[in-house]
């Protein structure tokens, strides 16, 4: 099975109630990892509150002990908790945002994992979309070079129109990668956002091809696969057609509970991957 499966774990208490299968703290990771491995998940995706949460000296032996891989590391707390944006017109604040992500790249890279740029991309500022995009391109370029230096991709996630007006479709990230000119820039395709923005999810994945670096496996309602109306079979067929061999990571609400979300994710993965 070349496609791997993972679930999301949030360590930031500020996102309690957000679309993560598990919410815990560093002390809770050991029993949680044991549970994930027992169920058959090969990976875990972590949403830290600060870069210090991704401590290689702590996480590496813990992951190895449970036979898990770190699928990816989220940076969303940079915006949700610390109000940092990579497109901020204030140069000092923008530099803080870049440093927040850079620190995560260094720590995640030591664990063989990429980082995600999602909500930290921001929205258009009063000076207009193009100046905002110019600042985002500059930041992404810096962070892509940092990612390449640690042998990882920089996963850039298009968001739906209700969350951002900068990068909404997979093709927008592919275009950004071309404009930045850094091979490390890769697409994170979140099926929830794609259900809103893409005319044909499978076609968008086929067009993305080798630029696809990560997938967030979520149904149309941000629940686990099978709880909404997204047709998953054509999506997995497209992933296999382009030779995708990364993770499909469940970034979903734990409803009706975390166990149900995990079992639905495993069922989809086993049946279609």
CA distances from 272 to 2, 43, 138, 235, 265 (A): 11, 18, 39, 9, 11
Amino acid 68: pLDDT: 98
User: Mean of the per-residue pLDDT values for the chain?
Assistant: 97
CA 158 to CA 189: how far, in whole Å? 7
Q: Give the active site residue among 146, 182, 198, 251.
A: 251
Amino acid 142: pLDDT: 98
269 CA to centre of own chain: 18
Active site residue 146: no
Amino acid 151: pLDDT: 98
Tell me the Cα Rg of the chain: 17
Closest CA to 74 of 10, 167, 140: 10
- Binning pLDDT at 50, 70 and 90, where does residue 1 land? low
pLDDT in tens, 166-178: 999 999 999 999 9
Please list the alpha-helical segments (H only) found in 67-169: 77-80, 91-109, 129-149
Structure tokens at 189: 């395709």
Residue 188, pLDDT > 60, answer: yes
Q: What is the pTM of this model?
A: 0.97
Q: Give CATH superfamily name and number for 4-272.
A: Divalent-metal-dependent TIM barrel enzymes (3.20.20.150)
Percent of the chain residues past pLDDT 70, beyond the cut: 100
Average pLDDT over residues 216-230: 98
Active site residue 182: no
Q: Give the active site residue among 146, 157, 182, 198.
A: 157
pLDDT in tens, 20-34: 999 999 999 999 999
Average pLDDT over residues 46-53: 98
Average pLDDT over residues 10-17: 96
């Amino acid at each position: 099975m070349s496609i791997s499966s993972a679930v999301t774990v949030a360590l930031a208490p500020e996102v309690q109630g957000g679309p993560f299968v598990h919410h815990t703290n560093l002390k809770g990771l050991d029993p949680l990892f044991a549970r994930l491995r027992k169920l058959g998940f090969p990976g875990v995706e972590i949403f830290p509150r600060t870069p210090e949460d991704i401590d290689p000296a702590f996480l590496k032996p813990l992951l190895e002990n449970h036979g898990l891989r770190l699928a990816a590391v989220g940076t969303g707390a940079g915006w949700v908790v610390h109000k940092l944006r990579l497109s901020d017109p204030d140069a000092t604040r923008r530099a803080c945002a870049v440093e927040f992500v850079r620190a995560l790249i260094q720590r995640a890279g030591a664990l063989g994992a990429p980082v995600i740029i999602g909500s930290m991309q921001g929205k258009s500022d009063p000076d207009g979309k193009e100046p905002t995009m110019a600042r985002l391109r500059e930041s992404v370029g810096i962070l892509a070079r940092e990612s390449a230096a640690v042998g990882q991709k920089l996963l850039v996630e298009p968001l739906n129109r209700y969350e951002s007006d900068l990068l909404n479709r997979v093709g927008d990230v592919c275009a950004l990668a071309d404009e930045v000119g850094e091979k490390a820039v890769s697409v994170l395709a979140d099926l929830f956002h794609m259900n809103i923005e893409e005319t044909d999810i499978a076609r968008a994945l086929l067009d993305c091809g080798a630029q696809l670096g990560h997938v967030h496996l979520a149904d149309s309602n941000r629940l686990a696969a099978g709880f909404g109306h997204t047709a998953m079979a054509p999506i997995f067929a497209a992933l296999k057609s382009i030779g995708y061999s990364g993770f499909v990571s469940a970034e979903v609400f734990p409803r009706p509970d975390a166990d149900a979300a995990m079992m639905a994710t495993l069922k989809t993965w086993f049946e279609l991957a």
